[in-house]
Structure 1
Amino acid sequence: MSEENKNLNTISEETASADSNAVAETAGKTEDTKAKKAKNKKSKPQKEKGKFKKFMKSRKAKHGTVAMAITALVIVMVIVLNIIIGLLVNRFPDLELDLTSNNSFALQDDTIDYVSHLNNDVTVYILMEKDKFESQGTYFVQAQKMLNKMASKSDGKMKIKYVDLTSNPSFTSNYPNVDWQSSSANNIVLVESGKQYKVLTLTDCFEYDEQTYNYYGTYSFTGTKIEQAVVTAILNVTTDDKVVVDMIKGNNEQDYSSLKSLLENNAYQVNDVSLATGDFDKDAKVAIMYAPSVDLDEKIVEKLSTWLSNDGKYGRSLIYVPTADMGEMPNLDDFLKEWGMSIDRGYVFETDETALVNASSPYAFTVSYGDYYKDNLKNSKIPVVVSESHAVNITDENTAHALLKTTNKAGVLPIDADKSWDYKDAITGNGENVAAEGVMTNEDKKSSRVVVFGSYVMFSDTIMQYNSFNNSAYFMNVINTIADKEDVGITIESKSIDNTELGITDVATQNTMLVVFVIVIPIAILVAGFVFWLRRRNR
């Protein structure tokens, strides 16, 4: 090969190599360009994110207008959230938490059970504007919340409406049987169902300090009774056929207004009758003779016996409560003897300290339930209390039986006891009956009965107001049973919101909460604040 050809081949190889290197270099640059573009695409969000993070840490973000805007936004969000929660609570009252020790804003189980099974539509009118009702004080706010909860549990059967009588004076014309004119009426709630209605006064719905009212003429409220008042009003306006009860008067009776109110609140129709000048109501199924101070004459006793016999059809009942200082009553004694009972004129005393209401008095004590009228009690663990009671003796066990009884450490103080009398001699170890019942039944298994309670004090307004005693509930259970009444009354406790504690009584839980809220949380806040300050200082 000539020298010239060699040179040409060398030049060609170098050219090819150069071209190859150029292509490779171009390809490399292309790959680098793509990689840089991809890298730039990936790093761009990170760069922006880094800028935002850097900006949030900057002095401008922390101390400038942006910080103010963020703070304002957070405040607005909190306000909006609070409004939403408020609307939800108004729409669904059960969402509201009650942390008071006595569940001041919670409905009792009896109320929930009753309103959730309403068959009739009921409207509860509050007789003033909503804002004005709320402004009356904390107990009115409490009452409003409880009414709203009752309505929410009624499945649409119960509605709450506010009526301002000043701007709607024609409203009162629809309810002619209500006293709208008297300044002492203080009507505040009206409950209506169909054509029946019942008005509730201020004192029906709220408890107040009577001494303050008597002295200053103003109300100082101490609790709300609106739950009980409205439930019993609903029971009244939704009951069409009310059981008739005759209260026998004309023999110097003690005040029976508390018993009458209790019966009327539980949808009974109560009439006052004088057997000396009149007769029983033709529809009466129950009669009550409450603590007469004088003996009945023979004609009245005959009327009683004839009424109870009901021409041999029976089905009627008499409740008799003797007065404390009863004298000789031979006609009443003969009447009770026919029903297998007698009354001891002395006073029952109790020596068992566990039964005494007050250690200084042996004549006020709790008693045990017998085998009758106990099963339908909502809480038979709550006792019945008696005071100044006579013993009701069983003279014919085929006719009568005991209802309430003392412990075996009780006895009777004789009415004619002298200084030589020893109480130990009066304790027989068998206990004393303070309530009993005589029953007569015909061939058709229909019965008439005479129920005797030895203590008239046990049905006084003072005693029956105590929720720790079962007197009113027991009495209503007896009368509901003997009257064959399906609807039963509801005993609701009054509510006070003076005590706003959480109601935690367990010592271990109290100690745990003390450590958490008084020690752990404050120290954690201090440590977190110190760490945050130290980190910012070192930046």
Structure 2
Amino acid sequence: MSKKDLNKAKTAAEETVKEAAETAAEVVSDAKEEAAEAAEKAVKAAAPKVKGGAKKFKYGSMSAVIVALVLAIVVIVNLMASMLAKRYPIKVDFTPDKRYELSDESIEVLKNINSDVEVTVAMEKELFANMATYYHNYYAQYGINADVPYDMIPNLLEKYSMYAEQGKGSVKVKYVNLDKDLDVVTKYKQYYNGDIEDGSIIVYSNEKVKVIPQADVMNMIQADQASLQSGTPNFVFAGESLITSAIRNVTSGSSIKAGFIATMNGQPVYNQNEYGTTVDSFKTSLLEKNGYDCTDIDITTDELKAEDYDLIVLPAPSVDFTENLIEKLSDFLYNDGKYGKNLIYMPSVNTTNLTNIDAFLADWNLQVENKYIIDDKNAIGNTAYIMLNIDDAEAVGTLPSQTLPIIAPVSREITILSKNNENLVKPILSSYDNSFISDMMTQKVDDKNRGKHTVVAMSTKEHAEQYDVYRSSVLVMGSALMADSEFLTQTNTYNNANALLGLINNMTGKEAAAVIPEKSLQQSYIATTQTQAKVIRIIVQWVIPALVAIAGIIVLLRRKNK
């Protein structure tokens, strides 16, 4: 084959290949179009079904998300509420007497403690509710429908723990059975010399122990006898003052040691029938409750060592002291020139001519007159139960209430003597301008000369060394009955407790502290008990969230099945 023929054959082959390629391209293009049309038909046919499924998926997912969010919010709110309730307790108490809430005074004490406190209740927690039921049934048998809510005590103890968390310290409460937990007594007895018995409340901190005896725990709720006679009983809760005072005692610094002169060579110094309960009230209801360490002493046989006593109380003596005993008191107050000691004197309303005691007082520029103070306008019930004005507000301190009266029953007049010495003498409390005098000896009443008369006065001797000043004081109260339990315990009626405590604290240098008021319990039979309150708490924190979760799950399942 010639070269020319070869070229023709090559050209013909190339054209054949080109035509084959064009034909194949057309076939592929047609196949693509047919496949696209088939896919388009399939999509259109399946479109309604896919659209419905997407809608179902969309709403089902939304329900699940909503349920999850609601559950998360409920759980978070409950957790936050629990945390906030512990850190910042909210006062939610719907009882008319606020029986399940602490007073502002107790809350302030708890916020300011800087140490950990253990409160050990020597009885099972459930026994408080049993006591409430027992006393309710006890009064019922006499036809009296009485609410005696001992079950409020554990509830309040929980509040002590909650409020303490706002400060730097803590209050941990536990309930023990002394028959089973024998180590409890052993642990606390090394710091406490008294008895620890079933039913008592033990408060411990800083190696200091204060025990509230079983009898005092039982008496935390007391009935007013007059109201019982009427068939409509009124009860008072005094437990808060006991518990708060115990906590304050074990968490405070050094306590003030007070000696009460009870006997002289074994014989009573004061008339027990007339002043026994008053002295006991002054000692226990006022001083011991508020951090004073009180003991009875015999002025003849006991030594008045400076390290043993900071304050001596001489209540209503019915006999005079010998010169040696007067010198003993003077030496105590002088304290080898260091001073720093104090004495409280309360005269009897019946005893006069105490020559040596009068001379001792005169050395401090003070004199107790043989005269009663009477007021026919500013008195309660009896003209001898006079109301007092505050002459020295700084000495008394700030009172929680300025409107409550200070009462001085059957008070003798105190005269401030003018002498050429350096004693600092000032009236503290006095009668109103309308008051007048009755002579103790002749019973003669001088109601023509009216004016204010001093009831409480204080004299101070001091000694300065460079920048330090040392002082001792003698406080004379014309009315010993100012410290009677009738006026000290009814803190919602009288200002005696707060005024006397503030005065004595300022005199001895003890930190200021308000008296914890008693709480009058109203008979409210719709008030929730501790058990009922626990049921409500469980319902709010657990049952309601569980019901919300169940409802959400039901809604989710129903939507999935549509």
TM-score by length of 1: 0.69
- Supply the AA of the counterpart residue of 2:454: N
Look up the match of 1:141. 151
Counterpart of 1:234 in 2: which secondary structure? helix
Cα distance in 1 between the residues matched to 2:94 and 2:418: 55
Unaligned runs of 5+ in 2: 1-42, 57-70, 133-147, 227-232, 528-562
Distance in 2 separating the partners of 1:108 and 1:338: 44
Q: Which has the higher contact order (CA 8 A, sep 6+)?
A: 2
Tell me if 1:236 matches 2:249. yes
Counterpart contact for 1:187–1:200, Cα < 8 Å: no
Q: 1:148 offset after TM fit, Å?
A: 0.8
Question: What SS does the corresponding residue of 1:485 show, helix, strand or coil?
Answer: coil
Q: How far apart, in 1, do the equivalents of 2:484 and 2:383 lie?
A: 19
Query: Is 1:118–2:140 an aligned residue pair?
Result: no
Change (3 A) 1:313 1:127: closer
Aligned equivalent of 2:296: 272
| Contact 1:388-1:455 within 8 A present in 2 as well | yes
Partner deviation per Cα, 1:390-435 (whole Å, 9 max, x = no partner): 011112286422110111100111123467x552x242x3x11111
Residue aligning to 2:173? 160
Selected match of 2:185 from 155, 172, 176: 172
Aligned mate of 1:101, from 96, 105, 115: 96
Q: Distance in 2 between matches of 1:481 and 1:200?
A: 27
Please list the CA deviations of residues 465-507 of structure 1 after superposition, one character each: whole Å capped at 9, or x if unmatched. Answer: 1112122222222222222223x4442122344344999xxxx
Residue among 270, 289, 292 paired with 1:252: 270
Q: Which moved more, 1:148-157 or 1:376-385?
A: 376-385
How far the C-alpha of 1:135 sits from its partner, in A, is 3.1
1:404 and 1:273 map into 2 onto residues whose CA distance is 29
Q: How does 1:341-380 map to 2 (within 5 A)?
A: 341-352=366-377, 355-358=378-381, 361-371=382-392, 372-380=394-402
Q: Name 2:199's counterpart in structure 1.
A: 187
Q: Alignment RMSD, CA only?
A: 3.9
CA deviations over 1:19-40 (Å, ceiling 9, x no partner): xxxxxxxxxxxxxxx9999999
Q: Aligned pair in 2 of structure 1 residues 362, 324: CA closer, same or farther (>3 Å)?
A: same
CA distance in 1, matches of 2:164, 2:325: 48
TM-score (norm 2): 0.67
Please state whether the residue corresponding to 1:328 is helix, strand or coil: coil
Deviates more, 1:238-247 or 1:387-396: 238-247
- Check if 1:393 corresponds to 2:410: no
Alignment equivalent of 1:320, drawn from 323, 328, 345: 345
Change (3 A) 1:452 1:501: farther
For the residue of structure 2 that corresponds to 1:373, the secondary structure is helix
The answer to whether the 8 A contact 2:282-2:483 is kept is yes
The 8 Å contact of residues 91 and 101 in structure 2, kept in 1 or not, is answered as no
CA distance in 2, matches of 1:406, 1:433: 7
Aligned equivalent of 2:221, options 197, 207, 230: 207
| Partner residue, 2:137 | none
2:261 and 2:443 map into 1 onto residues whose CA distance is 36
Secondary structure (helix, strand or coil) at the match of 2:380 reads strand
Equivalent residue number for residue 412 of structure 1: 437
Task: Within 5 Å, give how 1:400-479 maps onto structure 2.
Answer: 400-417=425-442, 421=445, 423=447, 425-427=448-450, 429=451, 431-444=452-465, 445-467=469-491, 468-479=493-504
Give the % identical residues.
25
The offset of 1:459, in angstroms, is: 0.5
- Gap change, CA 1:418 and 1:148, over 3 Å in 2: closer
Instruction: Structure 1 unaligned segments of length 5 or more: list them.
Output: 1-33, 48-76, 213-219, 504-539
Cα distance in 1 for partners of 2:201, 2:84 equals 21
Kindly provide the CA deviation profile for residues 292-345 of structure 1, in whole angstroms up to 9, marking residues without a partner as x: 111222111122222222233322211100011122112122121121121111
d(CA) in 2 for partners of 1:394 and 1:400? 7
Q: What do residues 97-125 of structure 1 show as CA deviations (whole Å, max 9, x unaligned)?
A: 21233322221111111112211111111
- Once residues 152 and 245 of structure 1 are traced to their aligned partners in structure 2, the CA distance between those partners, rounded to angstroms, is 34
Asked if the contact 2:258–2:294 (Cα under 8 Å) also holds between the matched residues in 1, the reply is yes
What is the one-letter code of the residue matched to 2:293? Q
Task: Give the Å deviation of 1:377.
Answer: 3.6
AA aligned opposite 1:452: V
Q: Which whole-Å deviations, capped at 9, do the CAs of 1:139-195 have from their partners, x for residues lacking one?
A: 232112211111011126111111123433443333433425xxxx66331111243
Paired AA for residue 252 in structure 1: Y
- CA shift, 1:456, in A, is 0.6
